[in-house]
A and B are shown apart, each in its own frame.
Chain A
Amino acid sequence: MRSFAFSAAENVDQAIIACESNNAEASYIAGGTTLIDLVKLDVMRPERVIDLNRLPLKEVERLDDGRLRIGALVSNTDLAHHPLVTEHYPLLSQALLAGASTQLRNMATTAGNIMQRTRCPYFRDVAAACNKRDPGSGCDALGGINRMHALLGTSEHCIATHPSDMCVAMAALGATLTLEGPNGIREIAFGDFHRLPMDRPDLEHELEPNELITHITLDTPVVGGGSHYLKLRDRASYEFALASAAVVVAVEDGVIRDARLALGGVATKPWQAMEAEQALTGQPAKTESFEKAAEIALADALPREHNAFKVPLARQAILRALEKATQAAMNS
C-alpha cells in the first residue's frame, strides 16, 4: 500500500482545516472499509488521511419536528439496531442489515456508506480503462463483462451501479444531508447529493473537496406506512445487490394514500422512482397497480450485453416489495 501522512481530528473544524491546509490530495477516513480497500488496489491515492473517528458525531436523536438526525459516524450496526430506527424506520434497519457482513457493518459509518465507491471490476483494476478512475480513458465495462452494471441513469461514459443498500432506503424515506466546510454549514436533499455520471463519472457527489458530512436527517416517518426492503443477489448474504427495492406504502380503505419506491443494484445512483410513486398514489393496493408501477419505474431501462436479466429481476423485486409492504401496512 502506498504511504500517506496521517492525522486524527478532534473536532469538525480541525478536520476541515487538516483537509484544506495542504495542497496534497487529502481524504477523510471513518470505518476505512471503502478507503483502505481502494488504497490497497491503488485506485484511491490520498497523500494525507484524516481520521474522523474522534468527532462527536455518533448520536441518533429525534428532533422536535419529528425527524431523525443521525451523526455521520454512527456505525451501520448501531444504526440498524437503534430503537428509534427499528421502531420508526424499519426499512432502513432492514436495508442496513442486508448489506455487507457483521464485521464490515461494525466498522462502516453512515457517511462512509453514502460515500462508498462503485464495485465495477474495471474501476477496481488500474490496468483497465475507466472514466471514473481516470477521466477520459474510456469505459471497459461498456463492451466488457457488464453483468453487475446499471440499467438506469447510465451514460456512454459510465454504467457503474451505486452499490449501497442503506442509500436505497434513504432515497425512499427522504433525507437531508448537513455538510460543513470552510464557508460554514449547508444542507442538501439526499436525492440531490449523488450525481448522474453523464460525461463526468469521476464527479460522484456534490461535496466540495474540503467539506464533510456531519449529519443525515431522515424525513418524518410516513404515518401508518408499511415498508419492505427486498434485495436479490447471487448468494443469500454478504453479496451486493443485483436488484433491490425499498418500499413504503400507506393504505386507506384498500387505496394507496402515499407510496415511496427506490431501487438499488440497477442504477448509477440511489434511485428514487418518482413517477412510479406518483402512479401508485390513489390507486387500489393491488397487483395490477404494482405491475403498472414496475413498468413505469423501468421504462427507461437500458440493458447491455450481460445485464438484460436485471430488467425482469428488478420488476420482480418491485412487485414483491410492494406486496410485502402493503401486507405490513394492512397489519399495522
Chain B
Amino acid sequence: MNMKEYSTQTKAVETETTVTLTVNGEPRQLRIPPNVVLLDALRDRLGLTGTKKGCDHGQCGACTVHIDGQAINSCLTLAVMCEGREVTTIEGLASDAGLHPVQQAFLENDAYQCGFCTPGQMMSASAMLEDERIGTDDAAVREAMSGNICRCGAYKNILAAIQTARGQMPTARKEGEVS
C-alpha cells in the first residue's frame, strides 16, 4: 500500500478533558467535554456572566472576548482549543487603577440603552484601539465595529465613546494619525 509512515498518533478526547487557560490574568482549570464552547464555559462553569449570548452563531458580537489580545466570538470557539491561552472578558477589562478608558467613555457618552450588547462592544472597541492596522477615522471605526450589533441602535453614542476613549488611551493611535 502506498501509505505514509506515521511515527506518532494523537490521542482523542472522547468524553471529558482538563483544559488549563488564563482568564483575566488568573490560571483556571476546566473539566469539560469537547463540545463546550468558550462562551458557555465562561458563563456556566466559571460564573463569568458578563459575556452575553445573543445569537450563538457569530452573527451579533455579544459574546466577544479577547484571546491573546484579539477579539473573537466565544460562541464559535471550542473551549478545548483554548488550552494555554489568555482569555480576557469584560470582567477583566477594568484594572486596580479603575475603569478601562473604554468603559469610562461608554458611561460618559451614554453609549447604551438596554446594555445587552455593551460588554461585546467594549471588548471589540478595546482591542480595536490597540490595533495599529485599523484606521482612526469614524468610517474605519464603524467598519471595524460592524461585528457588534446593537438592537437598541445606540451606534451614534458608541462611536462617540470609542473616539473619546481613543483620546484617553496612551497606547491608542490618535485620529488622523497614519500608520
Q: Which residues does A use to contact B, with CB under 8 Å?
A: 1-10, 13-14, 16-18, 21, 29, 31-33, 36-37, 39-41, 48-51, 53, 77, 81, 97, 100-104, 106-107, 182-184, 236-238
- Smallest Cβ-Cβ distance to B75: which chain A residue: A36
Tell whether, in the assembled complex, residue A29 and residue B78 are in contact, meaning their CB atoms are under 8 Å apart. Answer: yes
Residue of A5, A40, A106, A182 touching B14 (CB-CB under 8 A): A5
Between A and B, 9 residue pairs with Cβ closer than 8 Å are A2-B35, A17-B9, A33-B76, A36-B75, A37-B76, A77-B133, A102-B144, A103-B71, A106-B71
Cross-chain contact A103 with B10 (CB below 8 angstroms): no
**Smallest CB-CB A-B distances: 7 pairs:** A101-B147, A6-B34, A237-B146, A7-B12, A238-B146, A7-B10, A5-B12
Interface residue from B6, B9, B35, B72 paired with A103 (Cβ < 8 Å):
B72
Cβ contact within 8 Å between A16 and B4: yes
Q: Is the interface of B mostly helix, strand, loop or mixed?
A: loop
A222 to chain B, nearest CB (A): 25
Q: Are A14 and B124 in contact (CB under 8 A)?
A: no
Interface segment, one of B44-52, B53-61, B93-101, B159-167: B53-61
Give residues of chain B (49-93) contacting chain A, Cβ–Cβ below 8 Å: 56-58, 61, 64, 70-73, 75-78, 80-81, 83
Q: How far is the CA of A51 from the CA of B81 in the complex (A)?
A: 8
State which of B4, B127, B146 has its C-beta within 8 Å of the C-beta of A182: B4
B173 located at the interface, meaning its Cβ lies under 8 Å from any Cβ of chain A in the complex: no
Which residues on A sit within 8 Å (CB–CB) of B149? 238
Chain A nearest CB, measured from B125 CB (Å): 10
Beyond the given pairs A1-B37, A29-B78, 5 more chain A to chain B contacts, judged by CB atoms under 8 angstroms and listed by A's residue number, are A6-B13, A32-B76, A53-B81, A102-B128, A104-B58
B155 to chain A minimum Cβ distance, whole angstroms, is 12
> Inside 8 A of A51's CB, which chain B residues have their CB?
78, 80-81
Across the interface, do B6 and A238 meet the contact criterion of CB distance under 8 Å? no
Q: How far is the CA of A6 from the CA of B10 in the complex (A)?
A: 10
Q: Please name the residue on chain B nearest to A18 by beta carbon.
A: B10
B145 to A102, Cβ gap below 8 A? Answer: yes
- Min CB–CB distance B70 → chain A (angstroms): 5
Q: Write the nearest CB–CB distance from A14 to chain B, whole angstroms.
A: 5
> In the bound complex, how far is the Cα of B12 from the Cα of A230, in angstroms?
44
Given the complex, which residues of B lie within 8 Å of A182, measured CB to CB? 2-4
**Which chain B residue lies CB-closest to A181?**
B4
Bound state CA distance, A238 and B149, in angstroms?
10
- Residue among A36, A41, A48 with the highest chain B CB neighbour number at 10 A: A36
With A37-B76, A40-B56 as contacts: A14 and B35 at CB distance below 8 Å? no
Is the beta-carbon distance between B11 and A7 smaller than 8 angstroms?
A: yes
Interface check B174, CB cutoff 8 A: no
Residues of B with C-beta under 8 A to A39: 35
Q: Which of B64, B143, B144 has the most CB of A within 10 A?
A: B143
Q: How far is the CB of B154 from chain A (nearest CB, A)?
A: 17
A31 — which chain B residues lie within 8 A by C-beta? Answer: 76
- Complex CA gap A184/B127 in Å reads 41
A107 touches B14 (CB 8 A): no
Contact partners of A3 in chain B: CB under 8 A: 33-35
A1 contacts B146, C-beta separation under 8 Å:
no
For residue B10, which residues in chain A have a CB less than 8 angstroms away from its CB? 7-10, 14, 18, 50
Within 8 Å by CB of B147, from A6, A18, A103, A183, lies A103
Q: Which of A6, A13, A37, A183 contacts B78 (CB 8 A)?
A: A6
Contact A32 B6 (CB under 8 A): no
B56 CB to nearest chain A CB (Å): 7
Closest to A124 in B: B57
Residues B104-153 near A (CB distance < 8 A): 124, 127-128, 133-134, 142-149
Chain A residues, Cβ within 8 Å of B56: 40
Do B81 and A32 have beta carbons less than 8 Å apart? yes
